[in-house]
Structure 1
Amino acid sequence: MKEMSAIKTIAIMVAADEQYADQMLLTLKSIREHCTLETAIDLFVLSSDLSHATKSAVNRLMTLPHHVSFIAINPRRIKNFPGNNHFDQTAYYRILAPQILLARHIERVLYLDLDTLIRTDLTPLYDSDLEGNIIGAVIDPGKALTLKRLGVPKSQANNIYFNAGVLIIDTILWETHHISQKILAMLVPYPGRRVNDIQDALNVVLAGRTKLLAPKWNVQNAILFKTYEPINNEYSQLFKQAIMAPKIIHFTTEKKPWEVFLEHPYMSEYQVYLSQLPADKRDQINIVSAANSNFVEPLAILYASILNNNDDDRHYAFFVLSDQLTARDQATLRQITESFNAELTFIEVDEIPLTAVIQDGQVLKTAYYRLLIPNLLPEIERVLYLDCDTLCLENLARLWDVELGNIPVAAVEDAGFHNRLAQMAIDYKSIRYFNAGVLLMNLTIWRQQKITEQILTFIKEYPQKLRFHDQDALNAILHDRWIHLHPKWNVQTSILMDFIVAPTERINRQFLSAQKEPGLIHFCGSEKPWDKSSTHPYTPQYRFYKSRFLENNNPVPFRANTTFDEYHS
């Protein structure tokens, strides 16, 4: 039997802001599609303002065994440095990154500009022998012999000017020689200085410390179009080899393929990737629920209702925190998600952290699983948690796009107005208390602030205070730290069926609005749509989805975004 090769990890970094999100996604896709099974990519994205939608798209492109880290760079450090039509301020991020990466034990990294198209596995490039030099780079044909112009000493003036769009960086040597500080100093303008941009500064500081790589690893437009005569016979041959078999295409100069560069020989190849961007960019909405076998039917119906109201701009990934679900249970849920090309993942939950929780006939340990979500999904930044007894009537994109900032959670006020914070002796600013059946969770903040640990500690120390179980514990820790969602996103049974005296006229108006235009119905309380005697006003919609998707022998979408009313009209 052939022995399996060990996985090799290579570190790659790119720099982008939201303006260049498309170009970044395209470059990353070309990297991933040419990566061999023996290589895992440790990707570092340097940025100061990427949206969660773009981050989600990057994470979907670079799934396991690859890994993504987003590194925030403070733009104030380079705000006064010059830019031009070729690059924006993010081009300077590569200067600041080596110190950050070395602190993470990354001793070598491959930097790539975002106007590159990768056509091969990058492992051989990453493994290039730098022969003791700080970086590896490829000649820039248009400036090859211009180091004298930049004031480089005669002893180093015969070194060749390199292009900075593809760089292998030895972060240890970079830091040892204080390269970042020297380059930043070089970019500060003063009379007589000949350095015009970041590439000039890199060449000045790194003259005599650069290993020149084969041009096939950075095939610039000047090489492809033979704009300049090669500096010698050796480079004449190297350029011919690069043109015949380019490894990395670099769309240098102001003409860019996303602006239709028709005469470029690799324009059509780039356009294929460009045509795939809409699908790659679809924002992923992460839905998490917890279920045992008794709740598989309502969960499947919830999935069908969500996906039937979705649009093509969003991709859904469902995560089930499984309480001993059987193979048949899982198959029932899969038949729904697969008919809509959605993702479905089952996660077995270790209940050891929940040994102190209180259960009764209505609330089982499964209900507490939501508290563990930040640790169960360590690579995900945000999720929408939904109880199984909810039903979707509207596209969830508006809810998903609520900006959380540094707030841990967004939720809807509980319609019972229980005054629970005072009854639990919580020192609060606002009396408002949320319902835990619909939670838009900022998992990054949960982890940073160790919110799960705080909640579990409260449960252990104050079990006598928990009339409403984990919902009480959530409110006890997160009071005054949650965003108030419109009640349309958690239309509780009491809002629809009971006469509620709201504490303020404003809330009363919101409840009336939620009754007219509900987004998520929450069948909380004893009135359940799967009971034969149910009189809930949305029981017919629940049974409609059950009939169409669970009792049909071929449960496929009947028509995109078909509503209950349209179907019965």
Structure 2
Amino acid sequence: MIQLALALQDKDGRYAEHAGVVLASVFNNTASPVNVHILHDETLTDENKQKLLQLTARYKHTINFYPIVLPEEMLQVMAAVNSINIWTPACMYRLLLPALVEVEKIIYLDCDVLVNMDLAELWNTDLQHHYLGAVWDQGIREVAHVIHDKGLNPDLYFNSGVVLFSLNNIRSHVTWYQETINFLRNYPDSTMPDQDALNAVFGGNYLPLDLHYNFFNLTIPDHNYSSKIVHFAGPVKSWDQESPGWGLYRKYLRLTPWSPFRAIRKRRKRKVRYVNLRLKRIRKLKLRAKRRARAHVIFSKLRVARPGKSRRHHVMKSGKVRLLRPSGIRKLL
């Protein structure tokens, strides 16, 4: 079973939708069973949680929710890191995966990726003794001088949007958490705090993965998204209508409970059901009226066809013939 983790903070109620689209892209392309782990804070509403449950159940996978309360020591360190307000505290949740999820290994995905391939291919990667597997960051050359100052090598620097973690190997490195805290404390000017910390602590022992496992949208020739995990790193996300990935995002959005097309279909079904009920009632009324008219015609024919009484009644009523008593009766009288 594939273990998959996503992290989100959902202040405006939209990020749960993006997480749902990521899951739909995974479920639609992956045949193996998937066990999902959602790391979240109090901003995830019950309604959106129910939609995530509904989506997962529809594809016959499983899902778990982890309400995150960050350790006090990490909160104190994060308070000095200015870029946290840009990325939100949820970006730090992936750093706690070894302590949160009791599995041997796990795939972590950012909510701005779309999985357009079978995730089992990444899952079956043998990490051996490595802490994690990740893809070299395709945009790091632009800020190479920034990470140099933190002792990080741009040639080996990996992106943390798609990571295959060997949690058992990380747990065996008992000082991993304290090393993470120390890096954040020593470099409060970090512009990508979670990613920098992961590179600082685990960058010396990670497995470089093929580019198609975390292909930046901006570097894909002709925006050919087939057989790739596409990462919309940068200001333009897949859910922006001007994005070249908008069509692919909309394709997977249709598979989720957030789909506007699904709401339209529901309204259309309700309207069709209402019209059908009206037509059925009209047909019943017409049939009833037709039966009444037929019964009236039959009754009228029966009245005309009755002999004796009706004819005698009309003759007596006209006054032209006087009804005589039989002679036998006169004699008796």
TM-score using structure 2 length: 0.70
User: Which structure 2 residues correspond to residues 58-97 of structure 1 after superposition, within 5 A?
Assistant: none
Aligned residues: 249
**Aligned letter for 1:329?**
N
Specify the alignment match of 2:17 in structure 1.
Answer: 297
Query: Aligned pair 1:436/2:154, yes or no?
Result: no
Residue among 509, 524, 532 paired with 2:233: 524
Distance 2:230 2:264 in 1: 26
Change (3 A) 1:513 1:400: farther
Partner residue in 1 for 2:243: 535
1:414 to 129, 137, 148: 137
- Correspondent of 1:457 among 162, 175, 182: 182
CA distance in 2, matches of 1:431, 1:304: 33
- Partner of 2:3 in structure 1? 286
Give the deviation of 1:406 after TM superposition.
1.0
Kept in 1: contact 2:217–2:223 (CA 8 A): no
Match of 1:402 in 2: 125
Q: Does 1:483 align with 2:211?
A: no
User: By how many angstroms is 1:529 displaced?
Assistant: 2.3
1:480 deviates by: 2.8
The secondary structure found in structure 2 opposite 1:395 is: coil
Q: Which amino acid aligns with 2:20?
A: A
Q: Secondary structure at the match of 2:204?
A: coil
| SS, match of residue 447 in structure 1 | helix
Structure 2 distance, partners of 1:459, 1:542, is 34
How far the C-alpha of 1:362 sits from its partner, in A, is: 2.5
The answer to whether the Cα contact below 8 Å between 2:9 and 2:88 also exists between their aligned partners in 1 is: no
Which of 544, 554, 562 is matched with 2:251 structurally? 544
Letter in 2 for 1:398: E
Amino acid at match of 2:61: A
Indicate the SS of the match to 1:480.
helix
State the AA in 1 paired with 2:181.
L
What is the alpha-carbon root mean square deviation over aligned residues?
Answer: 2.2
Deviations 1:456-504 (A, max 9, x none): 221122213x1222111111222231111111111113213xxxxxxxx
CA contact (8 A) 2:214 2:230 kept: yes
Shift of 1:531: 2.4
Instruction: Identify the match of residue 39 of structure 2 among 310, 318, 321.
Output: 321
Q: Is the 8 A contact 1:306 1:392 kept in 2?
A: yes
Identity over aligned residues, as a percent? 27
The structure having more radius of gyration, on CA atoms, is: 2
Rounded Cα–Cα distance in structure 1 between residues aligned with 2:216 and 2:63: 27
**Does residue 342 of the first structure (1) align with residue 61 of the second (2)?**
yes
Task: Write the distance in 2 (CA, Å) between the matches of 1:351 and 1:516.
Answer: 36
In the alignment, the residues of structure 1 paired with residue 85 and residue 184 of structure 2 have an alpha-carbon distance, to the nearest angstrom, of 18
Distance (Å, rounded) in 2 between the aligned partners of 1:456 and 1:515? 39
Distance in 1 (CA, whole Å) between partners of 2:246 and 2:225 is 16
Amino acid paired to 1:530: W
Deviation per CA, 1:385-404, whole angstroms, max 9, x where unpaired? 00011111111111101110
Distance 1:486 1:493 in 2: 15
Note if contact 1:487-1:514 (Cα within 8 Å) is conserved in structure 2.
no
Tell me the SS of whatever aligns to 2:255: helix
Q: CA deviation at 1:548?
A: 3.5
Equivalent residues of 1:354, 1:368 under 8 A apart? no
Structure 1 distance, partners of 2:213, 2:238, is 18
**Structure 2 match to 1:310:** 30
Give 1:131-530 correspondences, 5 Å limit. Answer: 284-293=1-10, 294-311=14-31, 314-324=32-42, 325-352=44-71, 353-355=73-75, 356-357=77-78, 358=81, 359-377=83-101, 379-416=102-139, 417=141, 418-419=143-144, 421-426=147-152, 431-450=155-174, 451-464=176-189, 466-496=190-220, 515=224, 517-530=226-239
Structure number with higher helix proportion: 2
Q: SS state of the match for residue 438, structure 1?
A: strand
2:298 corresponds in structure 1 to none
For residue 172 of structure 2, what is the amino acid of its counterpart?
A: Q
The letter for the 2-side match of 1:459 is L
